[in-house]
Amino acid sequence: MLDLKYIRANPEKVQEGLSKRNKDVSIAPILELDEIRRKLLAEVESLKALQNQKSKEVPKLKKEGKDVTDLMNELKDLSDKIKELDSKVKEVEDEIEKILLTIPNIPHESVPVGKDDTENVEVRRWGEVREPDFEIKPHWEIGVNLGILDFERASKVSGSRFTFYRGLGARLERALINFMLDLHIEKHGYTELFPPFLVARKSMIGTGQLPKFEEDAFKTTDDYFLIPTAEVPVTNYHREEILKEEDLPIKYVAYSACFRAEAGAAGKDTRGLIRQHQFNKVELVKFTKPEDSYDELEKLTADAEDVLKELGLPYRVVLLCSGDLGFSSAKTYDIEVWMPSYGRYVEISSCSNFENYQARRANIRFRRKDGKLDYVHTLNGSGLAVGRTLAAILENFQQKDGTVVVPEVLRKYMGTDVIK
């Protein structure tokens, strides 16, 4: 969340930053509540000072043999008044925190101002887009034709937006997961975690999914949540901890299944593997010093891009404008892979710097060498979304005869060069 002290000291700057998101967000209620809180605290401190002063008179009067009944009654009234005011302070502080949890992060100064995804800025492209001499089938058609994807039976078993992977389809999904993990561990120096797929409410709050986006989450009856991404458990891995400066940056890679209700997404890429209720993803998470976080964002984005380069899939990198920025992010690059059947690039990874926004919510700090405590900056990105990568392979490497060539780096995992 945003720092209350920073909001108080820089109200115009904060409001200007939030306004760039093209959403109706006002910090006025927070400032009003903060003023009430500060007045209440001043009154409490004044009463406590008076209570302390009068408490010192009690032993003195007793020593002089004087009656202290009235003074004791006065002290009780002061104590009751202080408790009442303390309770009011707590109520106001709870209300401030409740509002702060719904306020998004402030965009970084390098983020272009824009209203929505039409004003995102392309940064670079890699790879040549194929121009085959035959009509490219969408991945959901070629996957069914090859007998490696079964949407019909998945719908019977679970409902829409679920998939059975069969035979070489299941092996390709597993190959991609292993390849991505191996690449990030062995080449990029990440430490692997295998996280729980269920998390408590506090963890979802820590990374910013709650309370704002509860309708997008799958919730159990006992207030646990199926994770929408491994970002949630991996970021909360260090919740309520004080890290060492010399250990930063800490870099984790984690495979997980991901679960999203996709509320409000009706009609958007509902066919095939692009927008599923359950999908696999390999996630990259970093904990860094504030002064290093934007350099680390560039490195994290490059690490995610490297997966597509190794696979030989054409892609582009887009810098999100302020109006398309995620709730908790200060700056985000989207990596978009070329999908022939769509005739456009489709998001396959978002790489974000949250600065200290998540760290404040989850209370993740580090101790500098001079002893000072500071909040870490957290970053994450998909490295990559596995189902979308599989879909991109089926579309970009399909042949005229209906087969699909397996990318060379996956062949040792697959045990075959071609999916027939």
Annotated binding site: 229-231, 260-262, 283, 347-350, 382
CA 236 to chain centre: 11
Active site residue 275: yes
Among the listed residues 260, 360, 361, 365, the single catalytic one is 260
Helices (H), 245-342: 293-311
Give 354-414 as a DSSP string: -TTHHHHHHT-EEE-TTS-EEEPEEEEEEEEEHHHHHHHHHHHSB-TTS-EEPPGGGHHHH
Active site residue 79: no
Among the listed residues 350, 355, 360, 361, the single catalytic one is 350
Q: For residues 6 and 13, give the distance between their C-alpha atoms in angstroms, rounded to a whole number.
A: 10
Q: Binding site for L-serine, residues?
A: 229-231, 283, 382
For 30, the token pair is 């927070």
> How many C-beta atoms surround the C-beta of residue 87 within 10 A?
11
Q: For residues 363 and 356, give the distance between their C-alpha atoms in angstroms, rounded to a whole number.
A: 9
Helix (H) or strand (E) holding 201: helix 201-207
Residues facing residue 336 across a β-bridge:
316, 347
Q: For residues 297 and 288, give the distance between their C-alpha atoms in angstroms, rounded to a whole number.
A: 10
Contact 127, 28 (CB under 8 A): no
- Find all residues with CB under 8 Å of 302, minimum gap 6, and list them: none
Q: Binding site for ATP, residues?
A: 260-262, 347-350
Active site residue 408: no
Active site residue 203: no
Among the listed residues 275, 316, 367, 411, the single catalytic one is 275
Among the listed residues 21, 171, 365, 388, the single catalytic one is 388
3-state secondary structure of 246: helix
Residues facing residue 351 across a β-bridge:
333, 381
Active site residue 16: no
Residues carrying an active site annotation: 260, 275, 347, 350, 388
